Amino acid sequence: MNKLEQLKARSQVVADTGDIAAIQRYHPQDATTNPSLLFKAAQLPQYQALIGESLDWAKRHCHDDASIPGQAAIKLAVAIGAEILQLVPGVVSTEVDARLSFDTRATIDYARRLISLYEQAGVPRERVLIKIASTWEGITAASVLEREGIHCNLTLLFSFCQAVACAEAGVTLISPFVGRILDWHKAHSGREDFTAEEDPGVLSVRNIYHYYKSRGYDTVVMAASFRNTGEIEALAGCDRLTISPQLLQALEEDDGNLTGGLPEQTEPLARPNRALGEAEFRYQLNSDAMATEKLAEGIRNFVQDQERLELLLQTHLIGRTETNAATNP
Protein backbone atom coordinates (compact mmCIF):
# COMPACT_ATOMS: atom_id res chain seq x y z
CA MET A 1 0.00 0.00 0.00
CA ASN A 2 1.10 3.55 -0.59
CA LYS A 3 1.23 5.94 2.36
CA LEU A 4 -2.21 7.39 1.67
CA GLU A 5 -3.74 3.92 1.84
CA GLN A 6 -1.79 3.17 5.03
CA LEU A 7 -2.97 6.46 6.52
CA LYS A 8 -6.61 5.68 5.73
CA ALA A 9 -6.23 2.45 7.71
CA ARG A 10 -5.35 4.49 10.82
CA SER A 11 -7.29 7.77 10.48
CA GLN A 12 -10.29 9.09 8.59
CA VAL A 13 -8.93 11.18 5.73
CA VAL A 14 -10.79 14.37 4.84
CA ALA A 15 -10.23 16.42 1.67
CA ASP A 16 -9.37 20.03 2.47
CA THR A 17 -10.75 21.36 -0.82
CA GLY A 18 -13.85 22.33 -2.73
CA ASP A 19 -12.45 20.92 -5.97
CA ILE A 20 -14.76 18.14 -7.18
CA ALA A 21 -12.03 16.60 -9.35
CA ALA A 22 -9.67 16.24 -6.38
CA ILE A 23 -12.41 14.68 -4.25
CA GLN A 24 -13.25 12.20 -7.01
CA ARG A 25 -9.59 11.19 -7.25
CA TYR A 26 -8.75 10.65 -3.58
CA HIS A 27 -12.04 9.23 -2.24
CA PRO A 28 -11.96 10.90 1.19
CA GLN A 29 -14.44 10.12 3.95
CA ASP A 30 -15.44 13.80 4.40
CA ALA A 31 -14.60 17.19 2.93
CA THR A 32 -14.06 20.64 4.40
CA THR A 33 -14.54 24.07 2.87
CA ASN A 34 -13.84 27.62 4.00
CA PRO A 35 -14.09 31.06 2.34
CA SER A 36 -10.60 30.72 0.85
CA LEU A 37 -11.41 27.35 -0.73
CA LEU A 38 -14.82 28.54 -1.93
CA PHE A 39 -13.24 31.57 -3.57
CA LYS A 40 -10.86 29.27 -5.47
CA ALA A 41 -13.66 26.83 -6.32
CA ALA A 42 -15.88 29.63 -7.66
CA GLN A 43 -13.28 30.32 -10.35
CA LEU A 44 -13.36 26.73 -11.65
CA PRO A 45 -15.34 26.07 -14.86
CA GLN A 46 -17.44 23.30 -13.31
CA TYR A 47 -19.00 25.71 -10.82
CA GLN A 48 -20.10 28.47 -13.19
CA ALA A 49 -23.63 27.06 -13.50
CA LEU A 50 -23.94 26.99 -9.69
CA ILE A 51 -22.87 30.63 -9.56
CA GLY A 52 -25.65 31.56 -11.97
CA GLU A 53 -28.20 29.57 -10.00
CA SER A 54 -27.06 31.15 -6.72
CA LEU A 55 -27.33 34.65 -8.14
CA ASP A 56 -30.81 33.96 -9.53
CA TRP A 57 -31.88 32.61 -6.14
CA ALA A 58 -30.47 35.63 -4.32
CA LYS A 59 -32.22 38.06 -6.67
CA ARG A 60 -35.54 36.39 -5.86
CA HIS A 61 -34.97 36.51 -2.10
CA CYS A 62 -33.31 39.92 -1.60
CA HIS A 63 -35.14 43.21 -1.13
CA ASP A 64 -32.22 45.31 -2.39
CA ASP A 65 -29.42 44.80 -4.91
CA ALA A 66 -26.68 45.48 -2.34
CA SER A 67 -27.46 42.29 -0.40
CA ILE A 68 -27.51 40.01 -3.46
CA PRO A 69 -23.77 39.06 -3.47
CA GLY A 70 -23.78 38.16 0.23
CA GLN A 71 -26.89 36.02 -0.04
CA ALA A 72 -25.60 34.42 -3.24
CA ALA A 73 -22.39 33.51 -1.37
CA ILE A 74 -24.40 31.65 1.27
CA LYS A 75 -26.39 29.82 -1.38
CA LEU A 76 -23.24 28.98 -3.36
CA ALA A 77 -21.55 27.53 -0.26
CA VAL A 78 -24.52 25.24 0.26
CA ALA A 79 -24.73 24.34 -3.44
CA ILE A 80 -21.04 23.36 -3.55
CA GLY A 81 -21.42 21.47 -0.28
CA ALA A 82 -24.38 19.53 -1.70
CA GLU A 83 -22.33 18.65 -4.80
CA ILE A 84 -19.48 17.42 -2.61
CA LEU A 85 -21.85 15.25 -0.57
CA GLN A 86 -22.68 13.29 -3.70
CA LEU A 87 -19.05 12.13 -3.74
CA VAL A 88 -18.19 11.56 -0.07
CA PRO A 89 -19.92 9.07 2.24
CA GLY A 90 -19.57 11.28 5.32
CA VAL A 91 -20.02 14.97 6.00
CA VAL A 92 -19.06 18.35 4.59
CA SER A 93 -18.02 21.37 6.65
CA THR A 94 -19.44 24.77 5.68
CA GLU A 95 -18.24 27.92 7.37
CA VAL A 96 -20.09 30.74 9.08
CA ASP A 97 -19.11 34.20 7.81
CA ALA A 98 -15.93 35.07 9.74
CA ARG A 99 -17.18 38.64 10.18
CA LEU A 100 -19.53 37.18 12.80
CA SER A 101 -16.75 35.57 14.87
CA PHE A 102 -17.47 37.77 17.91
CA ASP A 103 -21.27 37.76 17.68
CA THR A 104 -22.88 34.73 19.31
CA ARG A 105 -26.47 35.47 18.24
CA ALA A 106 -25.56 36.27 14.63
CA THR A 107 -23.45 33.09 14.43
CA ILE A 108 -26.40 31.00 15.63
CA ASP A 109 -28.73 32.63 13.11
CA TYR A 110 -26.26 32.15 10.24
CA ALA A 111 -25.75 28.49 11.14
CA ARG A 112 -29.49 27.89 11.25
CA ARG A 113 -29.78 29.54 7.84
CA LEU A 114 -27.14 27.24 6.37
CA ILE A 115 -28.84 24.16 7.77
CA SER A 116 -32.22 25.34 6.48
CA LEU A 117 -30.80 25.77 2.96
CA TYR A 118 -29.17 22.35 3.11
CA GLU A 119 -32.43 20.76 4.20
CA GLN A 120 -34.29 22.54 1.39
CA ALA A 121 -31.75 20.98 -0.97
CA GLY A 122 -32.55 17.54 0.42
CA VAL A 123 -29.45 17.25 2.62
CA PRO A 124 -30.12 16.17 6.22
CA ARG A 125 -28.40 18.16 8.95
CA GLU A 126 -26.55 15.03 10.08
CA ARG A 127 -24.36 15.30 6.98
CA VAL A 128 -23.25 18.88 7.63
CA LEU A 129 -20.76 20.38 10.08
CA ILE A 130 -21.05 24.11 10.66
CA LYS A 131 -17.56 25.62 10.88
CA ILE A 132 -17.17 28.36 13.46
CA ALA A 133 -14.07 30.22 14.64
CA SER A 134 -12.92 29.12 18.11
CA THR A 135 -13.55 32.44 19.82
CA TRP A 136 -15.43 32.48 23.13
CA GLU A 137 -18.49 33.75 21.26
CA GLY A 138 -18.14 31.04 18.63
CA ILE A 139 -17.80 28.27 21.19
CA THR A 140 -20.84 29.61 23.07
CA ALA A 141 -22.85 29.62 19.84
CA ALA A 142 -21.75 26.06 19.10
CA SER A 143 -22.97 24.84 22.49
CA VAL A 144 -26.46 26.19 21.64
CA LEU A 145 -26.42 24.73 18.13
CA GLU A 146 -25.29 21.30 19.30
CA ARG A 147 -28.30 21.11 21.63
CA GLU A 148 -30.48 21.74 18.57
CA GLY A 149 -28.91 18.87 16.67
CA ILE A 150 -26.76 21.16 14.50
CA HIS A 151 -23.26 19.71 14.61
CA CYS A 152 -20.25 22.03 14.65
CA ASN A 153 -16.62 22.08 13.57
CA LEU A 154 -14.66 24.61 15.64
CA THR A 155 -11.87 25.94 13.46
CA LEU A 156 -8.93 28.34 13.81
CA LEU A 157 -7.94 26.46 16.95
CA PHE A 158 -4.38 27.11 18.09
CA SER A 159 -4.35 26.81 21.87
CA PHE A 160 -5.06 24.29 24.58
CA CYS A 161 -7.64 26.53 26.26
CA GLN A 162 -9.65 26.68 23.02
CA ALA A 163 -9.65 22.88 22.87
CA VAL A 164 -10.72 22.53 26.51
CA ALA A 165 -13.58 25.00 26.09
CA CYS A 166 -14.78 23.19 22.94
CA ALA A 167 -14.83 19.82 24.68
CA GLU A 168 -16.71 21.23 27.66
CA ALA A 169 -19.22 22.85 25.27
CA GLY A 170 -19.90 19.44 23.70
CA VAL A 171 -18.98 20.37 20.15
CA THR A 172 -18.84 17.56 17.62
CA LEU A 173 -15.39 18.25 16.16
CA ILE A 174 -12.41 20.58 16.45
CA SER A 175 -9.85 21.50 13.79
CA PRO A 176 -6.54 22.26 15.55
CA PHE A 177 -4.15 23.87 13.07
CA VAL A 178 -0.70 22.37 12.66
CA GLY A 179 1.11 24.25 9.91
CA ARG A 180 0.13 27.73 11.01
CA ILE A 181 1.55 27.04 14.46
CA LEU A 182 4.78 25.93 12.80
CA ASP A 183 4.79 29.09 10.66
CA TRP A 184 4.63 31.27 13.77
CA HIS A 185 7.45 29.45 15.54
CA LYS A 186 9.65 29.64 12.46
CA ALA A 187 9.05 33.37 12.22
CA HIS A 188 9.71 34.04 15.90
CA SER A 189 12.48 31.57 16.75
CA GLY A 190 14.82 32.24 13.85
CA ARG A 191 14.85 28.51 13.27
CA GLU A 192 13.82 26.99 9.95
CA ASP A 193 14.17 23.25 10.46
CA PHE A 194 11.91 21.27 12.78
CA THR A 195 11.64 17.50 12.64
CA ALA A 196 8.12 16.10 12.70
CA GLU A 197 8.67 14.88 16.25
CA GLU A 198 9.55 18.36 17.52
CA ASP A 199 7.16 20.31 15.27
CA PRO A 200 5.22 22.61 17.67
CA GLY A 201 2.00 22.14 15.67
CA VAL A 202 2.28 18.36 15.89
CA LEU A 203 3.01 18.54 19.62
CA SER A 204 -0.01 20.79 20.17
CA VAL A 205 -2.38 18.32 18.49
CA ARG A 206 -0.86 15.38 20.34
CA ASN A 207 -1.40 17.17 23.64
CA ILE A 208 -5.03 17.95 22.82
CA TYR A 209 -5.68 14.42 21.55
CA HIS A 210 -4.22 12.87 24.69
CA TYR A 211 -6.24 15.20 26.91
CA TYR A 212 -9.50 14.34 25.15
CA LYS A 213 -8.99 10.59 24.98
CA SER A 214 -7.64 10.18 28.52
CA ARG A 215 -10.66 12.02 29.93
CA GLY A 216 -13.35 10.49 27.76
CA TYR A 217 -14.48 13.52 25.77
CA ASP A 218 -16.50 12.63 22.66
CA THR A 219 -15.32 15.62 20.60
CA VAL A 220 -13.52 14.48 17.45
CA VAL A 221 -9.99 15.79 16.82
CA MET A 222 -9.37 16.60 13.16
CA ALA A 223 -5.87 17.97 12.62
CA ALA A 224 -5.69 20.57 9.84
CA SER A 225 -3.41 23.03 8.05
CA PHE A 226 -0.48 20.78 7.18
CA ARG A 227 2.73 22.08 5.65
CA ASN A 228 4.36 18.75 4.80
CA THR A 229 3.72 15.00 4.84
CA GLY A 230 6.00 14.55 7.86
CA GLU A 231 3.46 16.38 10.02
CA ILE A 232 0.70 14.13 8.69
CA GLU A 233 2.63 10.93 9.35
CA ALA A 234 3.47 12.08 12.88
CA LEU A 235 -0.27 12.40 13.57
CA ALA A 236 -1.36 9.10 12.00
CA GLY A 237 -3.97 7.61 14.28
CA CYS A 238 -5.64 10.97 15.02
CA ASP A 239 -9.43 10.73 14.63
CA ARG A 240 -9.41 12.63 11.35
CA LEU A 241 -6.88 14.48 9.21
CA THR A 242 -7.98 17.10 6.68
CA ILE A 243 -5.40 17.28 3.90
CA SER A 244 -4.92 19.42 0.79
CA PRO A 245 -4.93 17.75 -2.67
CA GLN A 246 -1.20 18.50 -3.08
CA LEU A 247 -0.27 16.57 0.06
CA LEU A 248 -2.77 13.80 -0.72
CA GLN A 249 -0.95 13.36 -4.02
CA ALA A 250 2.44 13.26 -2.30
CA LEU A 251 1.22 10.53 0.07
CA GLU A 252 -0.32 8.57 -2.79
CA GLU A 253 2.96 8.62 -4.73
CA ASP A 254 5.00 7.44 -1.73
CA ASP A 255 5.28 3.64 -1.45
CA GLY A 256 7.34 3.68 1.74
CA ASN A 257 6.21 2.44 5.13
CA LEU A 258 4.20 4.87 7.25
CA THR A 259 5.87 4.73 10.63
CA GLY A 260 5.34 6.71 13.80
CA GLY A 261 2.08 8.43 14.63
CA LEU A 262 0.29 9.14 17.88
CA PRO A 263 1.70 7.51 21.01
CA GLU A 264 -0.29 4.81 22.77
CA GLN A 265 -3.04 5.99 25.12
CA THR A 266 -2.42 5.95 28.85
CA GLU A 267 -4.76 5.20 31.74
CA PRO A 268 -7.99 7.23 31.95
CA LEU A 269 -7.84 10.44 33.94
CA ALA A 270 -10.56 12.43 35.68
CA ARG A 271 -12.09 15.47 34.03
CA PRO A 272 -11.58 18.86 35.69
CA ASN A 273 -13.93 19.60 38.59
CA ARG A 274 -14.56 23.13 37.33
CA ALA A 275 -15.44 24.20 33.80
CA LEU A 276 -13.27 26.75 32.04
CA GLY A 277 -15.07 30.09 32.38
CA GLU A 278 -15.02 33.06 30.04
CA ALA A 279 -12.60 35.17 32.06
CA GLU A 280 -10.08 32.34 32.44
CA PHE A 281 -10.46 31.40 28.75
CA ARG A 282 -9.74 34.95 27.63
CA TYR A 283 -6.80 35.24 30.02
CA GLN A 284 -5.22 31.98 28.86
CA LEU A 285 -5.73 32.83 25.19
CA ASN A 286 -4.29 36.30 25.69
CA SER A 287 -1.27 34.76 27.47
CA ASP A 288 -0.48 32.70 24.36
CA ALA A 289 1.00 35.14 21.85
CA MET A 290 1.05 32.59 19.04
CA ALA A 291 -2.61 31.60 19.46
CA THR A 292 -3.77 35.20 19.82
CA GLU A 293 -1.93 36.33 16.71
CA LYS A 294 -2.84 33.34 14.53
CA LEU A 295 -6.53 33.42 15.54
CA ALA A 296 -6.77 37.12 14.65
CA GLU A 297 -4.85 36.60 11.42
CA GLY A 298 -7.01 33.62 10.45
CA ILE A 299 -10.22 35.58 10.97
CA ARG A 300 -8.86 38.51 8.95
CA ASN A 301 -7.84 36.22 6.09
CA PHE A 302 -11.19 34.43 6.00
CA VAL A 303 -12.99 37.79 6.01
CA GLN A 304 -10.82 38.97 3.14
CA ASP A 305 -11.61 35.87 1.07
CA GLN A 306 -15.31 36.13 1.92
CA GLU A 307 -15.28 39.68 0.61
CA ARG A 308 -13.34 38.59 -2.49
CA LEU A 309 -15.93 35.89 -3.13
CA GLU A 310 -18.75 38.41 -2.82
CA LEU A 311 -16.91 40.79 -5.16
CA LEU A 312 -16.55 37.96 -7.68
CA LEU A 313 -20.27 37.28 -7.45
CA GLN A 314 -20.98 41.00 -7.84
CA THR A 315 -18.89 40.99 -11.02
CA HIS A 316 -20.87 38.02 -12.36
CA LEU A 317 -24.11 39.80 -11.47
CA ILE A 318 -23.08 42.94 -13.38
CA GLY A 319 -22.01 40.86 -16.36
CA ARG A 320 -25.31 38.99 -16.44
CA THR A 321 -27.26 42.25 -16.16
CA GLU A 322 -25.32 43.83 -19.04
CA THR A 323 -25.76 40.71 -21.16
CA ASN A 324 -29.51 40.68 -20.53
CA ALA A 325 -29.74 44.38 -21.37
CA ALA A 326 -27.91 43.84 -24.65
CA THR A 327 -30.06 40.83 -25.53
CA ASN A 328 -33.32 42.56 -24.62
CA PRO A 329 -32.86 46.27 -25.49
3-state SS assignment for residue 91: coil
Residue 40 annotated in active site: no
What CA–CA distance (Å, rounded) separates 72 from 317?
10
Name the strand (E) or helix (H) holding 311: helix 289-327
For the chain, give the number of residues: 329
Strand partners, 152: 130
Distance between CA atoms of residues 224 and 227, nearest Å: 10
Q: Is residue 308 exposed (0-12), middle (13-18) or buried (19+ Cβ within 10 Å)?
A: middle
Residue 103 neighbours by CB distance under 10 Å: 17
Catalytic residue among 3, 75, 131, 294: 131
Of all helices (H) and strands (E), which one includes residue 85? helix 68-85
Which of the residues are catalytic? Answer: 131
